[in-house]
Amino acid sequence: MRRFVPRLVASPPARVLLTRGPIAAGIVDRFVAGPTDADAVAATARLADRGLRASVDLLGEGVTRPDDALATVLAYLRLLDLADRAGIGAGLDVSVKLSALGQAVPRDGRKLSYENAAEICARAAAVNATVTVDMEDHTTTDATLDTVVELRRDFPSVGAVLQAQLQRTEGDCRDLARAGSRVRLCKGAYREPAGTVHCGRPAVRVAYARCLGILLAGPGYPMIATHDPALIGVAGRLAAQLRRAPATYEYQLLHGVRPGEQRRLAAGGATVRVYLPYGPDSVPYLTRRLVEKPANLLLAVRALGSRHGS
């Protein structure tokens, strides 16, 4: 299934199925807040009512034209302004992909993506929100981390993302486990070549636990992004052993994935943030969710079936 799903969802008919076909509602509604910034703000407000925070991600990546990168910036600025007017800007986090901000634009992409990210960071700071720079495939890791370092000179709260599946990540954790450093640790959902990653789910789980130990033992602010019950258990035990106060780290789970666990962790006093994607370009994100766990497709189909049967 993990080999078949990427080929399936890359086909034009599958794109229609994921976004406009009869199954679209079951898939998109489960994992995506909606197509507009108003949808994202409304979903953020609903999460806040349940004691959950949000990290909002405007879907879209790999732009190659400056105008498209500018459109992404303007969309994030609108989102932040709308959240501020709704009274939920403070404490909100926005996740940005540098490839959506122009990193791949010929010649000046690196500079352009930094400047665009800095503009979003400035608006976020004005409404007491934060920004986390998402990680993409392994070819961009160094450039992304370098940009995070540059952004932190003016915006110290900018968060970084590390993927435990990459063999290099343990060293990156040691470099980033510093005071004031916000680091989201995830397993990683990109298909990477052999030699760059730990192979197999057990190996990735072990690598995640090692990286988690480094981050929790350091003075930074770890963001524990996993749905794996075993790793959530490891995180809780490590935090207790290291006497980490709940306010000094947080759990992050995807919108639509294990909502009961989100509520359970929050009810136990943990800080819980939901990764909340929105926007009309949902196919690449949904593809990664289906590749990461093909059973998600079955869950969405079942949700659709129960909706039609009700």
Residue 191: what pLDDT?
Answer: 80
Is position 293 annotated in a ligand binding site? no
Is position 241 annotated in a ligand binding site? no
Residue 187: what pLDDT?
Answer: 95
Is position 226 annotated in a ligand binding site? yes
pLDDT, greater one: 116 or 286: 116
Across 97-108, average pLDDT:
95
Q: Is 20 a catalytic residue?
A: no
Across 57-69, average pLDDT:
94
Across 181-204, average pLDDT:
92
CA-CA distance, 91 to 95, in Å (whole number)? Answer: 13
Residue 233: what pLDDT?
Answer: 97
Catalytic residue among 134, 152, 205, 273: 134
Residue 132: what pLDDT?
Answer: 98
Angle, vertex CA 249, rays to CA 191 and CA 122, nearest 5: 80
Q: Which two tokens stand for residue 13?
A: 């008919």
CA-CA distance, 36 to 278, in Å (whole number)? Answer: 7
Is position 189 annotated in a ligand binding site? yes
CA dihedral over 20, 21, 25, 31, signed as positive or negative: negative
Is position 288 annotated in a ligand binding site? yes
Q: Where are the alpha helices (DSSP H) in 53-155?
A: 66-85, 109-126, 141-154
CA-CA distance, 75 to 279, in Å (whole number)? Answer: 10
State CA 41 to chain mean position distance.
16
Residue 294: what pLDDT?
Answer: 57
Task: Please report the beta strands in 177-271, taking only residues with DSSP state E, as ranges in sequence order.
Answer: 182-186, 221-225, 250-254
pLDDT band at 148 (very low <50, low <70, confident <90, very high): very high
User: Which residues make Cβ contacts (< 8 Å) with residue 77, sequence separation at least 6?
Assistant: 119, 120, 123
Across the chain, how many H-helices and E-strands are there? 13, 8
Q: What percent of the chain has pLDDT over 70?
A: 83
pLDDT band at 192 (very low <50, low <70, confident <90, very high): confident
Q: Is 37 a catalytic residue?
A: no
Residue 29: what pLDDT?
Answer: 73
Catalytic residue among 30, 123, 182, 184: 184
Residue 308: what pLDDT?
Answer: 45
Across 196-219, average pLDDT:
96
Q: Which two tokens stand for residue 262?
A: 């989100």
pLDDT, greater one: 236 or 303: 236
Of 125, 191, 114, which is closest to residue 150 (Cα–Cα)?
114
Topology given in CATH for the domain delimited by 33-303: TIM Barrel (3.20.20)
**Other CB atoms within 10 Å distance of the CB of residue 65:** 12
3-state secondary structure of 19: helix
User: Which residues make Cβ contacts (< 8 Å) with residue 102, sequence separation at least 6?
Assistant: 63, 66, 68, 69, 109, 112, 113, 116
Is position 111 annotated in a ligand binding site? no
pLDDT band at 14 (very low <50, low <70, confident <90, very high): low
Is position 187 annotated in a ligand binding site? yes
pLDDT, greater one: 61 or 303: 61
Report the predicted TM-score, pTM, of the whole model to 2 decimal places.
0.88
CA-CA distance, 53 to 250, in Å (whole number)? Answer: 10
Across 136-154, average pLDDT:
96
Q: Which two tokens stand for residue 168?
A: 């290099």
pLDDT, greater one: 46 or 27: 46
In the chain, where are the structural domains located?
A: 33-303
| Residue 85 CB-density burial (10 A; 0-12 exposed, 13-18 middle, 19+ buried) | exposed
Ranked by mean pLDDT, the top range of 27-36, 55-64, 301-310 is: 55-64
User: Which residues make Cβ contacts (< 8 Å) with residue 152, sequence separation at least 6?
Assistant: 158
pLDDT at 214 over 80: yes
pLDDT at 283 over 80: no
Angle, vertex CA 219, rays to CA 217 and CA 55, nearest 5: 100
Residue 205: what pLDDT?
Answer: 97
CA-CA distance, 64 to 37, in Å (whole number)? Answer: 23
pLDDT band at 224 (very low <50, low <70, confident <90, very high): very high
Q: Which two tokens stand for residue 267?
A: 């009810």
> Are the C-beta atoms of residues 75 and 58 closer than 8 Å to each other?
yes
pLDDT band at 131 (very low <50, low <70, confident <90, very high): very high
Residue with tokens 């599958």: 14
Across 20-32, average pLDDT:
67
